Amino acid sequence: MQLYNTLSAKEREKLIEEAGKDRLTISFYKYAHIGNPKILRNHLFIAWDKMEVLGRIYVAHEGINAQLSVPAENFTDFKTHLDSISFLENVRLNIAIEQDNKSFLKLKVKVRKKIVADGLNDHTFDVTNKGIHVGAEQFNELIEDPNTILVDMRNHYESEIGHFKNAITPDVDTFRDSLDIIEQDLADHKEDKKLVMYCTGGIRCEKASAYYKHKGFKNVYQLEGGIIEYTRQVRDKKLENKFLGKNFVFDHRRGERISEDVIAHCHQCGKPCDTHVNCANEACHLLFIQCEECATAMDNCCSVDCKEIHALPYEEQKKLRKGKGASNKIFKKGRSPVLKYKK
């Protein structure tokens, strides 16, 4: 029984182009107590592969986290299949504001220890005992309340290109880093302030809301559906948009524009810019912000050294990479010393 991809990313990309059919980029998550994640993983791969679903899906004992792309014509079948799984019936689907038929090029369904890495070994808190979910309208009202503390639960490279007005944006590389920092910084306000959190689609602040309730915070709220759903509600209901800039997304697009504000800068020249790219040198692949002028001058690379390597014949590049790990692969997004104007 096939439980793996048979096509390369390039082969899949060609098929998508030839098909000429619209695809929908969707994300969803659900915290639940799953007895055997491997069985669920296999079930999802078999069913979704037949529907030409592509994407990155994590399954764990604590639930499921999915970012994927599905042919628009197969959406009804996909939704029907989700509803056939008891804990996923009527799960909220975040449909991307900006669509891209090539947002994902492979189907990857993986079993993980957790759907959101948190570094916690505390088994006494229940991740399903979440905070109060609020929609865009109530969220806007809450964050204008002087008794509210608004916290961005995302990482530095995400909030750098876009965040809500007056939000605390922890300068962290990972979600696990932010949990203790926020608790320490807000320790004096566990009872007298409203703790309101947000993230991309809701998954991180939902776990954080359960954790902070466990830690004694009395008034914990989270933005339902994250920035993605907030943007949809603001547009549908004609509400005031309080988000500045772009929303970082974890697919080929890397960002969705929410407002016309450009709050970040090119990491190489300092010019206003909020376009994330990966260094073209495959041995580096550093994620950083680069304007069009620097992209042209640097051949889409982050440094002169990478530019020189990228200019070599591909076989020579492969020889240089042999036996070496990707130096910037782990938690160094935008942190490299070669970037003069990094945050």
Query: Which position among 199, 205, 266, 302 bears the catalytic label?
Result: 199
Spell out the SS3 assignment of 143-177.
Answer: CCCCCEEEEECCCHHHHCCEEECCCECCCCCCHHH
Q: Is 45 exposed, middle or buried (0-12, 13-18, 19+ CB in 10 A)?
A: buried
Helix axes 37-50, 75-83, angle to 10 degrees: 160
Closest by CA to 223, choosing from 200, 239, 240, is: 200
CA angle at 132 for the pair 135 and 192, rounded to the nearest 5°: 115
Q: How far is CA 170 from the centre of its chain?
A: 16
Task: Annotate 274-334 with DSSP letters as a single string.
Answer: --EEE-SSTTT--EEE--HHHHHHTTT-SSHHHHHHHTS-HHHHHHHHTT---TTTTT-TT
Is residue 199 annotated as part of the catalytic site, yes or no? yes
C-alpha torsion 270→274→276→279, nearest 10? -20
Task: Annotate 209-232 with DSSP letters as a single string.
Answer: HHHHHHTT-SSEEEETTHHHHHHH
Local structure of residue 241 (DSSP, 8 states): P
The set of catalytic residues is 199
